[in-house]
Structure 1
Amino acid sequence: MSLSPCCFKGHFHKGTAKGQIVEIGPDNRRTYVSGPEPAQASGAILIIADVFGISLNNTRIIADNYAEKTGARVYIPDFFDGRDLYTQLDGHSPGSPEAQAKGFKIQDFLAEFHPRDNSYPKIESAAKAIKALHSGKKLGVVGFCWGAPGTMRLGSDDVPADTQADAVAWAHPSLLEVPSDISKLTKPGCFLAAETDAQLPKERREIVEEELCKLAKNGIYTTLRFFPGVEHGWAVRGDENNEYTSRAMRDAQSTLADFFAIELRGQ
């Protein structure tokens, strides 16, 4: 499976982000951070963004929202090395005349920045660095679209303890391998699915449900929430001028913020 056209479209949101850009980890990765300093934070939340990356104002505002609602310090690392989709296309969509004029090809982008093997080392390095900054506190990880595979890996025993998340979440995931990405989960999870989603259609969503039920029998707590009337990307790039979609976006933010508020405090 590759990324779908729905992974590359959406709306850019208004609003002023409150965080700042810092460098973290041994590779000095540019990272948007929001919330209290590590010593005062309730824990840490790592956002693995979609292909629009750290540059998208929408995701920065989501980070600010999580920080405010959870008391955590929230991080959005640049896993695209300064060449996320938003930056490469100057805010234009991949199918636009502007993108065509630049010679942009989605398949080339994905070949360089595949969310699995190509990107796992960067993601794991960032998670380890963030955990070190918050020694003794918990790490939550949420992935949007492109970020889902890395999120699930951090919630499994495929990574060492100094890198592993304490709780994971995703919304409208892309490039998930089901059932294996789900069956390997060993940490609590909160997952949000859209009614219309080429990356997670009904038949794949039902497989996810089956695997989560198996995890429940082993005492691993998860929830899967279905959002009717919305499509892939709604939680980050939905139309804030559409009353229904805007409400669904706010609901998604609150759902995940509440989940992390509980998990990071160990309640």
Structure 2
Amino acid sequence: MSISDVFGYESQNLRKLADKVAAAGFFVVVPDFFYGDPYNLDNPQFDRESWHKAHSKEKGCEDAKPAFCWGGNVAVKLAKSNDIKADVILHPGQLKDEDIHEIKVHTAILGAEIDRVSPPELMKQFGEILSVKLIALVKIFPGVAHGWTMRYNAEDESAVKSAEEAHLDMLNWFTKYVK
């Protein structure tokens, strides 16, 4: 299993999650899908549009096939293929109904209550679409915002608790449908 985040493979919370997944008995890799060019909001000259063009979903999907993860959009793209057994999408990106209709594997969506990119109502709608043909889970975490499972403040007890609960849900899902 591969775990990735747009802010780069060196993210401390990303590494913690990879260690949790590995401790549960999964083989885990944390590749640098961005080839030394992570999303960088600290740089005032960071050009989001250019970055997204250079790191397209299509390229991410091809790069991720050997490792099987690159974020919500690519996870969904892979779930449309026969390349994976199950899928967990943590704080999804900009997905559409047509993306969800094409998913072929049991899928869990773990979303944030505060998320303009993927609001809870939309995640629930996706769950209804999925549950017609697959085993699906949609769980919305209260009081958290998009990205909470990776970019939480380790000093914030509530944030850590929500992230750890989502990590456990992810591990349980994979244990049930992959192992």
**TM-score, L = length of structure 1:** 0.62
SS for the counterpart of 1:233 is: coil
1:75 corresponds to which residue?
29
* Unmatched tracts of structure 1, length 5 or more: 1-44, 128-140
Q: Is the 8 A contact 1:55 1:84 kept in 2?
A: no
Q: Is the 8 A contact 2:109 2:123 kept in 1?
A: no
SS for the counterpart of 1:241 is: coil
1:46 corresponds to which residue?
2
**Alignment partner for residue 231 of structure 1, among 135, 142, 145?**
145
Q: 1:209 to 1:154 in 2, by over 3 A?
A: same
Structure with more relative contact order (C-alpha pairs < 8 Å, separation 6 or more)? 1
Equivalent pairs counted in the alignment come to 179
Task: Quote the Cα distance in structure 2 between the aligned partners of 1:150 and 1:243.
Answer: 30
Q: 1:235 to 1:113 in 2, by over 3 A?
A: same
**TM-score, L = length of structure 2:** 0.91
Alignment of 1:139-158 (within 5 A): 141=68, 147-157=71-81
Task: Quote the Cα distance in structure 1 between the aligned partners of 2:109 and 2:124.
Answer: 13
SS for the counterpart of 2:139 is: strand
SS for the counterpart of 2:59 is: coil
Alignment of 1:5-154 (within 5 A): 45-47=1-3, 49-69=4-24, 71-85=25-39, 89=40, 94=41, 96=42, 99-100=43-44, 103-114=45-56, 116-124=57-65, 126-127=66-67, 141=68, 147-154=71-78
Larger C-alpha radius of gyration, 1 or 2? 1
1:166 corresponds to which residue?
85
* Unmatched tracts of structure 2, length 5 or more: none
* Deviation string, structure 1 residues 176-228 (Cα, Å, up to 9, x no partner): 2x21221111111121011000111134223213212322xxxx211111111
1:259 pairs with 2:173:
yes
Task: Quote the Cα distance in structure 2 between the aligned partners of 1:202 and 1:246.
Answer: 20
Instruction: Please tell me the residue identity of whatever aligns with 1:240.
Output: A
Tell me how far 1:142 sits from its aligned partner: 5.3
Instruction: Please tell me the residue identity of whatever aligns with 2:21.
Output: Y
Q: Is the 8 A contact 1:142 1:170 kept in 2?
A: no
Moved segments of 4+, more than 4 Å? none
Alignment of 1:175-214 (within 5 A): 175-176=94-95, 178-214=96-132
Q: Which has the higher strand share?
A: 1
Task: Quote the Cα distance in structure 2 between the aligned partners of 1:165 and 1:51.
Answer: 21
SS for the counterpart of 1:54 is: coil
Q: Is the 8 A contact 1:168 1:190 kept in 2?
A: yes
Tell me how far 1:243 sits from its aligned partner: 1.9
Instruction: Please tell me the residue identity of whatever aligns with 2:12.
Output: N
1:17 corresponds to which residue?
none
Tell me how far 1:240 sits from its aligned partner: 2.1
SS for the counterpart of 1:104 is: coil
Tell me how far 1:167 sits from its aligned partner: 0.9
Tell me how far 1:248 sits from its aligned partner: 0.4
Task: Quote the Cα distance in structure 1 between the aligned partners of 2:2 and 2:29.
Answer: 5
Q: 1:260 to 1:149 in 2, by over 3 A?
A: same
Q: 1:118 to 1:72 in 2, by over 3 A?
A: closer
